[in-house]
Structure 1
Amino acid sequence: MQLLTPEGELQPTPEAEAFLPIVEALPDVELEQFYRDMSISRRVDIAGANLQRQGQLALWVPSHGQEAAQVGSARAARPQDHIFPSYREHIVGMIRGLDPVKILGLLRGATLGGWEPAENGNFHLYTLVLASQTLHATGYAMGLAFDGATATGHPETDAAVLVYFGDGSTSQGDASEALVFASSYQTPQVFFVQNNQWAISVPVERQSRSPIALRGGGFGMPGVRIDGNDVLISYAVSRQALEDARSGEGPSFIEAVTYRMGAHTTADDPTKYRTQDEVDLWTRRDPITRYRTWLAGRGASDAFFAEVDEQAQDVASDVRRRALEMPAPTREVIFEHVYAEPHPLMREQYAWLDAFERSLDGGVA
């Protein structure tokens, strides 16, 4: 399904016609916010990659090219919803109120978790063990149902769960187990797959001989396939799916077909396994360029775009500055949150480490 063509024209595909009223009801300020979000995300992404190349981060996980899928779906969620990311949903976290420096702190090794979800818009922690977040999300969604926190008929309080994972993660057993339990318990949940064509160096056609969206029907839930580079269809379909989940209609499955323009992570070299022709093809489908063309065609001014560009640069510069100022963590931090209360084993291990480091320093603390 698609609302915006790659050329930036509003031409809904037949299946997407029903979602057009959702978009048409949005005020200009919200439509412009989508562009603002995507532009800021792109600049922060570039800053993160540069910091890693300069030795300031251990790793960076690019989101370049996937901005529309993330922004549309994230903006469709309500404050009471819970979001379980993978590890490249940077703008989703920012939309939920997360300071992006906390993401850089995690990838810099300055923190062991990154943030408290309850204090950051119910945006849960990044997951580096692929697909495990689908089980975390399903368990949480089951808990919402057991606690009566959903499907009560109160739209301002009924909650749902949105979980992000990639095409590679659909090959993991955890994802299938999560889909089984979600279907069995009819959880208030949306599974959002960002099919960016590559699971590191493995192409999606080697992982799935049919469209990934069909997995939903196989597990007893509706599954749809959308143009993941079209922020409007991402928003409209996600909003409807989340509303259905909150109202007790069970889980659903969205496959957003997009493309990872950069490397899988900064530890990866995509030139080893994909062609420049493929990259060029997807460059012409850039989600930000497409959306800018549409906004300009409906009256967005040059001043608006200039203001957004300036804001995006300011955010990226601020993120870079504060990331460089982050102090290295003390050795105590690795012991602090293993147990909720002080624990003799942790004290013993800390004493051993303290003695070991003293021996390396010639007895000096």
Structure 2
Amino acid sequence: MIRISVDVMGGDFGPEVVIPGAAKALERHPDVTFLLFGQQERCLPILAQFPKLKEKSTFHHCEVSVTMDEKPSQALRRGRYVSSMWRSIEAVKSGQADVAVSAGNTGALMAMAKFCLRTMATIERPAIAAIWPTLSGESIVLDVGAGIGADAQQLLDFAVMGGAMARALFEIEKPMVGLLNVGVEEIKGQEEVKEAGRLIREAGLDTIDYYGFVEGDDLGKGTVDVVVTEGFTGNIALKTAEGTAKQIAEYLRSAMSRTWMAKLGYILAKGAFDRLREKMDPRKVNGGVFLGLNGIVIKSHGGTDAEGFAAALDVGYDMARNGLTQKIENDLKKYHARHPSPAGPEAA
């Protein structure tokens, strides 16, 4: 039985999207139970429309909800201990839930998750990992916005955590990992990236297979299973990819409606266009995973619909079922056992 705690008030639409999304996820995963946190006057009438979900859920009333435009510091002061966002994360800390999912304010969610769950002992900075559709299937890209910049050791940590996530999500025994760079040659790129490449090569990790440097076009090709970068670059890459997908969809929609011949061609090729739409649908890969915390937290896109939120719940289910946190802890222990801190074990 997988237990998922949900911030029902999170996102642009709150319970109107979150509750139907949870109902969809329950259809796919009957072994799930939900802990729902939100304002009862808004949530309970909607929850009543989904009797199967209501039966598999425990609802917890929360007067406070974090708005999408609140600053992280403000959200912490106002919503710590009492908001639906905080209490959904706290359920993971207390062991009541295996994973928390929210579509709320990203900065506030990361601040609360760090404050409540804390980072793993040897992790300086958590990362947000995104699932990326590719020509060969899917890959993982991190960090896509948890922080700005990263030094070589932090990039190595991202590689270890991303590899553990690939094993949990894709069930790959030894994922291929690449460092995003401006070229594949070893002499190119920032010093932090080149140093990270050296550290990963010399680490002797038996949980990942280090590919080397990859470039921007490798993201869509699926050259590697995990692409490692720092948060500023990763977030720009993510938003660019989302915008490009929407642009291509609009081009196709415009071209298919221009003439009657084009409309006829669309009808004849509708099956192919449906498969293309399915492949490019950002809702299918919704759900950023916060890595490096003592617990699993999933961030759904704030503007998604019920199908998209269900996809984020699917990710949370897979991460919990396959023991993501334990895999990361084990991989980090293996690395630090081989490469102890110069200051001794206490420093770790």
TM-score (structure 1 length as normaliser): 0.29
TM-score (structure 2 length as normaliser): 0.30
Greater percentage in strand: 2
